[in-house]
Amino acid sequence: MMIMDINNKIYVQELDNYKDYLKFQKNYSDYTILNYENDIVEYLGFIQRENLDFKTVEYSDLRFFLMYLKDEKKDDNTSINRKLSSLRGFYKYLANEGIVKSNVFSLVNGPKKSKKLPHYFEYNELEELFKVPDILTPIGQRDALLLEMLYATGVRVGELVHIKVKDIDLGRRSILILGKGNKERFVTYGEYCEEALKRYLQDGYIFLNHKNLDYLFLNQHGDALSERGVRYILDQLIQKTSIHKNISPHMIRHSFATHLLNEGCDLLTVQKLLGHESIKATQIYTHVTTDRLKEVYYHSFPRARKNDSKE
């Protein structure tokens, strides 16, 4: 990555202001803000290298930036589109603040996206994963709840680490979630998650919470668990299984949505459960479940196969 000249106070100040805007007004997670920052820093480094002014950059200049990403950096289409999205948001903010005349990135179309289906876990893989934590220890009880709650609710990792005990309605088995854009929604959890939650609150949580914090998920030092901490825990857990897949909180979220659709849940309900503003963001899961539909068809339709020994 190109490193921005830290002596350029204008760049630093505007970027810091934008990061504050994302954190306090848009309620973006630290992890998301870091990704935005990395994309913007790379762009500002290119701007400096080409002796351009970020306030007066023109559309023709951005074509050279795209060439830099594709030919010099060898970024794939997904990375390029993500970076353009970050910069589109940055320049929209600058335009609203009157720092630039217009959002020049609104004119830039990224390369065509390749359809990439979300990765998810099969039911049996999750069952194996759920058996890993040692529920006789405080850390194990926390990790067991972390897995159950991610899968039972489909929440984002940034939403998970901000859950407070007071947000949970034990009687209704529901949790008040503060999502993107400070939008609130309720998520429901089932009996497996309920069992893990009660065990943790009655034992492991008391042991870990020696700093008397309100947050549900705590690390071994008694501080609120971070998004990076959740990812580290998941990496450690999957290494103790026979599963040969990378793991992330979002992959468990994908599994939540995919399994709901496989069991007949309608798309609009899944959209609400995931906290998606648009149904378009949820529609990608319909492609995933096509495999499930084909499986049911071949096993159920009498004239789907001529011979049982052939697929």
Active-site residue flag, 250 = yes
Of the listed 119, 180, 185, 199, which one is catalytic?
A: 180
Question: Which residue in 73, 185, 276, 292 is the catalytic one?
Answer: 276
Answer yes or no: 276 catalytic: yes
Tell which wins on pLDDT, 295 or 225.
225
- State the catalytic residue, choosing from 82, 119, 164, 250: 250
Q: Given the residues 156, 162, 254, 259, select the one marked as catalytic.
A: 156
Q: pLDDT tens, 159-196?
A: 999 999 999 999 999 999 998 878 899 999 999 999 99
Structure tokens at 28: 């973006």
Nearest to 254 by CA among 144, 120, 111: 120
pLDDT in tens, 8-35: 666 788 999 999 999 999 888 888 999 9
Please confirm, yes or no, whether 253 is among the known catalytic residues: yes
Residue 210 is among the residues annotated as catalytic for this protein: no
**DSSP assignment string, 150-168:** HHHH---HHHHTT-BGGGE
The predicted model gives 192-213 an average pLDDT of 97
Is residue 82 flagged as an active site residue? Answer: no
Residue ranges of domains in the chain, CATH in brackets: 9-107 (1.10.150.130), 123-294 (1.10.443.10)
For 42-52, the pLDDT digits (tens) are 999 999 889 99
**108-113: average pLDDT:** 81
Percent residues over pLDDT 90 in the chain: 69
Q: Which two tokens stand for residue 7?
A: 């002596």
pLDDT of residue 115 exceeding 70: no
